[in-house]
Structure 1
């Protein structure tokens, strides 16, 4: 508490009602933080996912998780460098409990439908999350963290990103070995084939390979999403969401137009159709080049100034490309500036938020770790919860679950590892981070149990996320908080 500016109220004033003002300010900061994350910071990360063409589960486990977990990261930074207490660690641990239990429970209860989950996505994220928890338990067991231990946590997240890079290859190996690869088409024509390509357009009407002049076999978008959802990229899934009735008509019309344009471009750009035994490629007309000014020329081929029309087209194309490159560079610069500005906004909100929560806990006699694992953790996890619920209501369960578990991996490996590494390597080289609460070890150990019960429950529920499964995580979360308090 003494690390923050002095409060205008005394402890006696706060005990007689002034603490409610701090509670109001903390709730307001939670709301402002959710707005900054959802409206500014997360969309900038979504733009990155769109350009990298990530699938929905990979995007949910990496960039979406990193963006929605930004409040926990900044809270941990405040806890390490300013308060020098356990409020940041408690927030990370509490946020992990909230993410894997409460968020999955909320998605199951309020998704409005039964959502199918992919066994590969859940097992991939939960196994690596388990490894992260085990590493954290080993590192904090002696109540101090050294520089090499914090560095290992950061390196583990880089390995996690590397696994995501080769996600499709690993998934094929997993499905081949477990013999759980399912056919894309259930109840549709058995001879319909789909290219093994993650760049599947959200608008696509898939055409059957065969005689192009015959009536083509069609797979509707809804059937494609439910049968093989992980083939959609992050941007395509976003377009799919924004044409639903949850958005205003103008937005739906705009997104539908973009979907049609994308489909048109897909058909024009090097798509090959089989017609009998020959293949016909639809390509963009290529400009003709004439060396040394020679080659056939006619008046009809020349423009008004005597230049050949294909040369004019080439010059116009080059100018357009240059303008496009300039525009892209300007957009990249603007995006970087906006992202940096949003980081500053979040830091400006996190410090007073942590201050108010610390004062509330001090006034009520609640330890910093308990405040972090309950009140502060729930508030900073609001962006995670909202993001997961939105995509779960659209039937994309893999993205929702991958976001919640991926957020936990980010919280532990980067949310704790990065501030600890900066403190022990850059600020005070060779120093150690000392933890004040032995109860953290028990709470992190119980996190390990929460992962097991979550995966086991999903397996018993036949890999379906519904209301029946959604009721279980809430009771587990309350039990975890009770045991953590008893352990302290």
Structure 2
């Protein structure tokens, strides 16, 4: 360490002496002494050390480039700028940064309202008009919840900050969708959630391949348009696979039935389901025999109650999915506070966007779709500006804010949708949506934003200093495989203990992100 310190100090002295370097090559010691004597701005002592020194032109080390592609001097640069803040840095450090944090959280909820109330219903009508199959329409819904906000975040991050922000948001949202979403669904559900091996293994297989491609792309710290197209082709392959999902699923299951060991591991939940169905049929037969001895009047009353309860359930289901956004004052007291807090957002959205769930506004779903995209872009810009001010005040990097805070904010709509879906008993849909969003983030969100940046900067490459992000992506790949192995070990079920472990793993990831990013 002492030798390194001595060499560094000597190199710094050489740099200082070469500040007024002459134009000619190295000269003799006598010429150097005469020049130093004639210079009025330099005051030195004539010693043997200075008489023997020579002038060396310092040249910076050339950047290491292993891809063979020349770096463009104009790639990529900031074309947008953060607006000036109302508070100075000192004022924010004395407590006014809390307003920025509160505004950032408020923008997260605004993003949730836009996605849940306007974007997803308009996409549902679009898939109906185009006569898209159920599998492809499900893919569109998955992309709506997580892909659109993260796409705008990565695109604006390229022009406002750097490419690391977009990659950080995608990596952080991947951790959030796998650990936090799956963990919350399992931890806050009333019963144990059952999964089917085929959708989970399908999405994890595609996601693993996409993560490996992303690792290869990030190795040389530059991204060319060919590498962006290679990631974009992964999206095409995934959508094509989803289109022929049923045929491929049957084909794979037929081949797997030839191997007894594999079928016992993958289809271990099928015997339990058949046993449950058989036991439920026996219970129904016993109940029918007992009810046959009762009076006809009781039967009529019981059937009437069943009809009323079924009607109520249908109305509740319809109310959850088809009720339009309303600005009426809620009668429940626990909803009044949230109504007042969210009224500025809901009021602006209600005035500017037609609700496609109303019959009178159903025909304007294209206007709703385009308007919701504009609102999401505006909210993404506000979130980037606020996170920049918070990171500047707290002294942390913007990449750390993108991996931890922004990724959780843009994935909040997916978390709420997954919790509501899991509570209804559709855990497979919730997990599949989370994995599908991750696939679209890597194969559609990142490459499209990189291609746009290359087109704006004249076809130049996108330079990105991966650094800790490379290890974060590698860590995420190991976490993803470990999570799937744990689910398979639990016989494709997720209980509350599993949910607690997943949530704790997400907090460990947040701690590691502070060290790596």
Output the TM-score relative to the length of structure 2. 0.65
- SS of equivalent residue, structure 1 residue 112: coil
Rounded Cα–Cα distance in structure 2 between residues aligned with 1:429 and 1:54? 40
Q: 1:149 aligns with which of 223, 227, 230?
A: 227
Go from structure 1 to structure 2 and tell me whether the alpha carbon gap of 1:31 and 1:187 turns closer, same or farther (over 3 Å shift).
Answer: closer
Q: Is the 8 A contact 1:90 1:368 kept in 2?
A: no
Greater fraction of residues in helix: 2
Q: Is the 8 A contact 1:154 1:414 kept in 2?
A: yes
2:425 paired residue number: 395
What's the counterpart of residue 96 of structure 2? 18
Matched, 1:126 2:220: no
Q: Distance in 2 between matches of 1:49 and 1:134?
A: 32
What count of residue pairs does the alignment treat as equivalent? 360
Matched, 1:31 2:99: no
Give the 3 Å change call, closer, same or farther, for CA 337–81 of structure 1 in structure 2.
same
Q: Assess, with a 3 A threshold, how the Cα gap between structure 1 residues 119 and 480 changes in structure 2: closer, same or farther.
A: same
Residue by residue over 1:234-253, the C-alpha shift from the partner in whole angstroms, topping out at 9 and shown as x without a partner, is xxxxxxx99748x7488389
In structure 2, C-alpha distance between the alignment counterparts of 1:447 and 1:131, rounded to whole Å: 13
Alignment of 1:443-482 (within 5 A): 443-482=472-511
Determine the structure 1 residue equivalent to 2:319. 251
Q: Which structure exhibits the higher relative contact order, with contacts defined as CA atoms closer than 8 Å and separated by 6 or more residues?
A: 1
Aligned partners of 1:397 and 1:465 also within 8 Å: no
Cα displacement string for residues 355-381 of structure 1 (whole angstroms, at most 9, x for unaligned residues): 001110111011111101111111111
Task: Tell me: CA distance 1:252–1:417, structure 2 relative to 1, closer, same or farther (3 Å).
Answer: closer
Task: Report the TM-score when normalising by structure 1.
Answer: 0.68
Matched, 1:161 2:239: yes
Q: Does 1:67 align with 2:135?
A: no
Deviation at 1:185, TM superposition (A): 6.1
2:460 corresponds to 1:431:
yes
The equivalent of 1:349 in structure 2 is 379
Three-state SS of the structure 1 residue aligned to 2:134 is coil
2:183 aligned with 1:105: yes
Rounded Cα–Cα distance in structure 2 between residues aligned with 1:409 and 1:254: 28
Displacement of 1:475: 2.3
Q: Residue 135 of structure 1 corresponds to which residue in structure 2?
A: 213
Give the Cα separation in 2 of the matches to 1:386 and 1:253.
14
1:29–1:353 contact (8 Å) kept in structure 2: yes
* Partners of 1:17 and 1:443 in 2: CA distance: 32
Which of 128, 132, 148 aligns to 1:52? It is: 132
Q: How far off is 1:338 after superposition?
A: 1.3
- The aligned residue for residue 55 of structure 2 is none
1:428 Cα deviation after fit: 2.8
Instruction: Tell me the residue number matched to 1:405.
Output: 435
Q: Distance in 2 between matches of 1:421 and 1:117?
A: 37
Q: Give the drift of 1:434.
A: 1.4
Does the 8 Å CA contact 1:105/1:471 hold for their aligned counterparts? yes
Question: Cα offset for 1:141?
Answer: 1.1
Deviates more, 1:407-416 or 1:116-125: 407-416
Q: Please list the CA deviations of residues 373-412 of structure 1 after superposition, one character each: whole Å capped at 9, or x if unmatched.
A: 1111111111010111111111112111111111111111
Query: Larger C-alpha radius of gyration, 1 or 2?
Result: 2
Which of 422, 429, 448 is residue 418 of structure 1 equivalent to? Answer: 448
Alpha-carbon separation, structure 2, partners of 1:100 and 1:455: 10
For residue 133 of structure 1, report the CA deviation from its aligned partner.
0.5
Q: Does 1:91 align with 2:169?
A: yes
Deviation, 1:175, is 1.5
CA separation of 1:41/1:417 partners in 2, compared to 1, >3 Å: closer, same or farther? Answer: same
Greater shift after overlay, 461-470 or 39-48? Answer: 39-48
For structure 2, list consecutive stretches of 5 or more residues without a partner in the other structure: 1-77, 258-262, 282-309, 324-359
Distance 1:254 1:41 in 2: 14
Kept in 2, the 8 Å contact 1:68–1:407? The answer is yes
Residue number among 374, 396, 407 corresponding to 1:377 in the alignment? 407
1:21 to partner: Cα distance: 1.1
